[in-house]
């Protein structure tokens, strides 16, 4: 017997009821597929952002002195009363790393954030940030110059910032003001993507010493070290730690690698995605119970049909397959509709948020397999009840 044909016939005959039953699965699959697809898209997006910075970068920031003495330096104990952590990293630390030739370290830079506004001809760029850097910074951050270069006297502008101040005119040689001091523009960067939270297009770059003087600081915000290769990152971390420990015996600094940050971010997004998908999975379960409920109703409505079929020689297996086909087909239709809706929703949300998002093959396969499994699992009980019906019992309901 063509079990699928009979199943479709029955589903079509009760269109409204079938649709409402499948709706539970539609919503469940829609939620699971949309969330996993969007989660995957966010992960890919974050990954690509980070790989732009380079996997061989190491960041050094100030931290509370290490309370543990596992480095063999016991001087930090009494200084744990720090509440805030003013930076203790200096240009001297940078010079030490640059000049004590270490085999795994390629180069290093230091940055300082300047909390001032930048303006040109009276117009202030409110969204712009100002960063003091040294020359290697640009190469390490993988940003290149549209025109000009970085000098020890002038200022370098990100592409959007240059455009907002000067439009189509060439900014080189013109001046911009930071805290009432005019600086000549010596370079303009190409448009680039930066790490999350920083936008090189909206940043102005001053020489490190100038920026430190401007903000009355003798310390830098952080240091960035690049290892010769990504594989040499652990070795470079060791080398940098050794040098810095001599200068900061209390171990009041922290070394982070891009890989660590990346793995932290991706594992966080994974956990959130899985958690949300799990919650969405509950609606799939509810949808499955809805199918079981309706299939039980269908079986009792069709007692007589089952009896006739059995009287005409249908085996238990034939009846089981017939009803199981119906619940699986119902769940599959729900899963299919849910996946289509999820595809639309993912594309729309991705576009709205501005990340490239699409259904992943994996999430579609999982959704389809899962909806079929839901139909099978929740269809077994009604189908077995139908199959075990004695023909005489089934025909008695006249």
Three-state secondary structure call for residue 73: coil
Q: Which is nearer to other proteins, 199 or 318 (CB)?
A: 318
Residue length of the chain: 398
CB of 338 to other proteins, least distance (A): 28
Roughly how many angstroms between the first and final C-alpha of the chain, as a whole number?
Answer: 26
Both tokens assigned to 235: 């070795």
Q: Which residues pair with 227 in a beta bridge?
A: 105
DSSP characters over 236-276? HHHHHHHHHHHH-TT--EEEEEHHHHHHHHHHHHHHHHHHH
* Least gap, CB of 328 to other proteins (angstroms): 20
Cα separation, 336 vs 343, in Å, equals 11
- Residue 9 or residue 170: which is nearer to other proteins going by CB? 9
Q: Which is nearer to other proteins, 113 or 395 (CB)?
A: 395
CB of 297 to other proteins, least distance (A): 18
Closer residue to other proteins (CB): 13 or 15: 13
* Residue (180 or 398) nearer to other proteins, CB: 398
| 21 close to 330: Cβ distance less than 8 angstroms | yes
Closest by CA position to 60, among listed 264, 196, 267, 248: 248
Pairing of strands 145-148, 123-125: unpaired
Q: Pick the closer one to other proteins by CB: 260 or 305.
A: 305
Sign of the Cα torsion 261, 266, 267, 271 reads positive
Look up residue 143 and give its two tokens.
């940003």
How far is residue 378's CA from residue 359's CA, in Å, rounded to a whole number? 27
8 A C-beta contact, residue 207 and residue 153? yes
Least CB distance to other proteins at residue 3 (A):
11
- The pair phi, psi for residue 69, each rounded to 5°, is -110, 30
Q: Which is nearer to other proteins, 308 or 373 (CB)?
A: 308
Shortest distance, CB of residue 301 to other proteins, whole angstroms?
Answer: 12
Q: Please say which residue, 315 or 351, places its beta carbon nearer to other proteins.
A: 315
- Among 194, 187, 209, smallest CA distance to 133 is for 209
8 Å CB contact between 222 and 71: no
- Bridge partners of 110? 223
SS3 call for 113: strand
Name the minimum Å distance from CB 392 to other proteins.
4
Least distance to other proteins from the beta carbon of 303, Å?
Answer: 12
- In 3D space, the residue among 388, 379, 346, 374 whose CA is nearest the CA of residue 44 turns out to be 346
**Distance, CA of 50 to CA of 264 (rounded, Å):** 12
For residues 170 and 393, which CB has a smaller minimum distance to other proteins in the complex? Answer: 393
d(C-alpha 1, C-alpha 7), whole Å: 11
Q: How far is the CB of 308 from other proteins (least distance, A)?
A: 5
Question: Could you tell me the smallest distance in angstroms from the CB atom of residue 397 to other proteins?
Answer: 10
CB of 307 to other proteins, least distance (A): 8
Q: Residues in the site for other proteins, rule: CB under 8 A?
A: 1, 9, 13, 304-305, 308-316, 318, 390-392, 395, 398
Which residue lies nearer to other proteins by CB, 41 or 389? 389
């Amino acid at each position: 017997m063509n079990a699928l044909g009979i199943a479709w016939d029955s589903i079509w005959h009760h269109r409204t009821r079938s649709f409402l039953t499948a709706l539970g699965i539609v919503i469940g699959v829609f939620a699971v597929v949309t969330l996993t697809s969007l989660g995957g898209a966010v992960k890919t997006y974050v990954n690509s952002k980070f790989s732009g910075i380079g996997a061989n970068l190491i960041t050094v920031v100030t931290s509370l002195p290490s309370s543990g003495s596992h480095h063999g330096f016991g001087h930090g104990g009494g200084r744990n009363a720090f509440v805030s952590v003013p930076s203790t990293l200096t240009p001297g630390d940078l010079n030490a790393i640059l000049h004590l030739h270490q085999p795994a370290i390629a180069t290093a830079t230091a940055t300082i954030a300047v909390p001032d506004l930048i303006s040109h001809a009276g117009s202030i760029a409110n969204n712009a940030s100002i960063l003091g850097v040294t020359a290697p910074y640009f190469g390490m951050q993988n940003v290149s110059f549209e025109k000009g270069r970085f000098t020890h006297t002038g200022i370098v502008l990100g592409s959007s910032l240059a455009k907002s101040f000067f439009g189509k005119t060439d900014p080189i040689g013109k001046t911009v003001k930071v805290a009432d001091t005019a600086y000549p523009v010596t370079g303009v960067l190409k448009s680039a993507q930066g790490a999350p939270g920083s936008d090189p297009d909206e940043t102005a770059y001053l020489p490190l010493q100038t920026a430190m003087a401007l903000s009355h600081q003798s310390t830098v915000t952080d240091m960035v070290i690049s290892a010769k290769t990504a594989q040499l990152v652990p070795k470079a971390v060791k080398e940098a730690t050794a040098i810095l420990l001599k200068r900061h015996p209390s171990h009041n600094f922290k070394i982070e690698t891009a890989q660590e940050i990346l793995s932290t971010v991706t594992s966080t997004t994974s956990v959130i995605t899985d958690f949300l998908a799990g919650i969405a999975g509950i609606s799939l379960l509810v949808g499955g119970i809805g199918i079981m409920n309706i299939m039980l109703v269908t079986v009792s409505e069709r007692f007589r049909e089952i009896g006739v079929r059995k009287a005409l020689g249908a085996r238990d297996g034939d009846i089981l397959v017939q009803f199981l086909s119906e619940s699986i087909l119902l769940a599959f239709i729900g899963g299919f509709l849910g996946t289509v809706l999820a595809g639309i929703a993912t594309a729309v949300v991705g576009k709205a948020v501005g990340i490239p998002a699409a259904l992943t093959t994996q999430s579609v396969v999982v959704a389809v397999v899962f909806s079929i499994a839901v139909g099978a699992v929740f269809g077994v009980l009604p189908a077995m009840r139908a199959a075990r019906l004695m023909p005489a019992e089934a025909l008695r309901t006249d």
